[in-house]
Amino acid sequence: MASTKRFGSESLEPKKRPRMMALGVGGAGRNIITTLVEDQTLSNINMFEVGSSDRLPKLPFIEVSKYHMRDAYETAAPLSMRPLSHSEEKIKRRLEQTEILYLISGLGGETGSWSAPICAQLADDMNLFIISLIAMPFETENENRRKFAREAKTEVKKYSDILGCFSNSKLLKLNPHLPMTKAFEVMNTIIRLPIQDFNTVLTKEDVPYLKKFCSGNDVFHIGAGYGKGRERGRYAAREALRSPWLEDMHGYSTILTVVTSGTGSAEMEAQDALETLRDVAPDADIMWGLRKDPDIGDRAKVTMLAGK
C-alpha cells in the first residue's frame, strides 16, 4: 500500500532546525549559490563557494586545487585508505557541525565534475544528509563533456541521499528561443526551489526518516507550480506535474513535496494538492510538508522531487 506521510514543522525555533550548509561547486554551482545568498529566508544556511580561484568569490570561499580533486576523483581507494589532500582537508573542516548539506554543481567541466563527487564522499563519511542538486549539460554541448557529466553524476549519486538532476536542455522545451545566459538564469531559479522550500520546514527529527524514505531511488526530478483561485492547491499540483523535468509520472515510486500556502487555508490547499498527486501516482510513497509564506499572496505553490 502506498503511504502518505507528513514531515517537517512550520513553527519551530530556529535553534531546533538542523544545521545546514550549501556548497556551490565549480562555475555553475558558484553562479547558483551566489544568487541564493540574497534570499533572507536562507540566512540560517552556511554557504560557501568551492572552486579554484579563477574568479573573485562573492561568498566565503573554499579554494581547492582542481588537480587535488582530480587525483581524489580518479583514485578508487575509499577515504579511510588514503591520505586527504590539503584541498580535501579544507572541505572536511568546513563540513564539521553540519547535519544537512546542499551540494550544488553543474557537471561536465573539470572543477565541478571532479570536486562535487569528492565533497559528497567527504560529507557521506561524516554521515550528513546530502541533497545534491546537479545541472546536466545542454544536449548541444560537446559529447565528451556530456559523457564526463554522466560519469560524475554516477559518482555523486553513490554518496547522496537525494540526487536532484536538472537537465539544462529540458528548459528549452518550455522556451526554445531562450539565449544561453537567460536559460542559465531560469535554471538557477528552479534549482534553488527545493532549498528554499525545504529549508523552513525540515527538522532534525525528519533526517533519519527522510534518509530511509529516499534510499533506493536513482535520481529525483523536479516539478514546481503555482495555483490561484478556489482550487489553488490542485492547480499548483497540476502545474508542477507538467514540469519538463518530470517527463510523465510513470514509474515514480517516491515523492517528496512541500506545499506553500500564502494567505489562504493551508491545510485545504495541501489536501487538494496531495489528492492531485495521488491521482497520477497511485503507487508512490509520498512525504509532504507544509509552509506558510505570505509573500505569495492568495496563491498556493507546490514543489516536488519525484524519484524512481
Ligand X SMILES: Nc1nc2c(ncn2[C@@H]2O[C@H](COP(=O)(O)OP(=O)(O)OP(=O)(O)O)[C@@H](O)[C@H]2O)c(=O)[nH]1
- Interacting residues toward ligand X by CB under 6 A: 26-28, 31, 66, 106, 108-112, 135, 137-138, 141, 145, 168, 184, 187-188
Strand partners, 22: 47, 102
Shortest Å, Cβ 200 to ligand X: 24
Rounded CA gap, 20 and 31, in Å? 19
Binding at 31: pick from Mg ion, ligand X, none (beta carbon under 5-8 Å per type): ligand X
| Residue 57 found at the interface with Mg ion (CB under 5 A) | no
| Residue 18 found at the interface with Mg ion (CB under 5 A) | no
Which residue, 18 or 27, has its beta carbon nearer to Mg ion? 27
| Residue 27 found at the interface with Mg ion (CB under 5 A) | yes
Which residue, 106 or 227, has its beta carbon nearer to ligand X? 106
Binding at 110: pick from Mg ion, ligand X, none (beta carbon under 5-8 Å per type): ligand X
Which residues lie below 8 Å from residue 218, measured CB to CB, with a gap of 6+? Answer: 157, 163, 307, 308
Which residues lie below 8 Å from residue 294, measured CB to CB, with a gap of 6+? Answer: 262, 263
Shortest Å, Cβ 28 to ligand X: 3
Shortest Å, Cβ 111 to Mg ion: 5
Which residue, 69 or 266, has its beta carbon nearer to ligand X? 69
Of 224, 227, 231, nearest to 246 by C-alpha is 224
Site of grid cell 573542516: 93
Shortest Å, Cβ 139 to ligand X: 10
Binding at 57: pick from ligand X, Mg ion, none (beta carbon under 5-8 Å per type): none
For 222, list phi and psi in degrees, rounded to 5. Answer: -105, 145
Of 55, 6, 10, nearest to 31 by C-alpha is 55
Which residue, 129 or 166, has its beta carbon nearer to ligand X? 166
Binding at 225: pick from Mg ion, ligand X, none (beta carbon under 5-8 Å per type): none
Rounded CA gap, 117 and 138, in Å? 20
Is the torsion defined by CA of 171, 241, 224, 157 positive or negative? negative
Give residue 118's identity as a one-letter amino acid code: I
Which residue, 18 or 27, has its beta carbon nearer to ligand X? 27
Rounded CA gap, 158 and 307, in Å? 15
| Residues engaged in binding Mg ion (CB under 5 A) | 27
